[in-house]
Amino acid sequence: MAGTSLKRKARKNRVTAKKRVDSIQRLQQKPVIKNVDIEAVKAEFAKADKKKPAAKKEAAKEEKAEAKKEEAPKAKKAAPKKKAAPKKTEDKEDKKED
């Protein structure tokens, strides 16, 4: 009975072992530590804060203008609607002819 090799089981065992080793290595990795200039980062945020209030006012004006433009076409598109009832009547006529 020991003469046959279980190839499928051996392959499965190798795959599970490889997954286990890979996951352990992935969890043990350390992130790369970079030297960051904290003062430069703070200065960038200070610049961004100064620019935001002006940008918000401009964005609000643009949104109001876009909203007005969008409202007018919506009213025009809603008016032309028709029912699709004629298709049903044609089917009934075909049945009557047969």
* pLDDT score, position 50: 81
Q: Rounded to 5 degrees, what angle do the CA atoms 19, 23, 27 make?
A: 175
- Give the chain as a 3 state SS string: CCCCCCHHHHHHHHHHHHHHHHHHHHHHCCCCCCCCCHHHHHHHHHHHHHHHHHHHHHHHHHHHHHHHHHHHHHHHHHCCCCCCCHHHHHHHHHHHHC
Residue 96's pLDDT is what? 60
Q: How far apart are CA 27 and CA 53, in angstroms?
A: 43
Show pLDDT as tens, one digit a residue, over the chain (98 residues).
567 889 999 999 999 999 999 999 999 998 888 888 899 999 999 988 887 655 556 666 666 666 665 554 444 555 556 666 555 555 555 566 55
Q: What is the pLDDT of residue 9?
A: 95
pLDDT of residue 31: 84
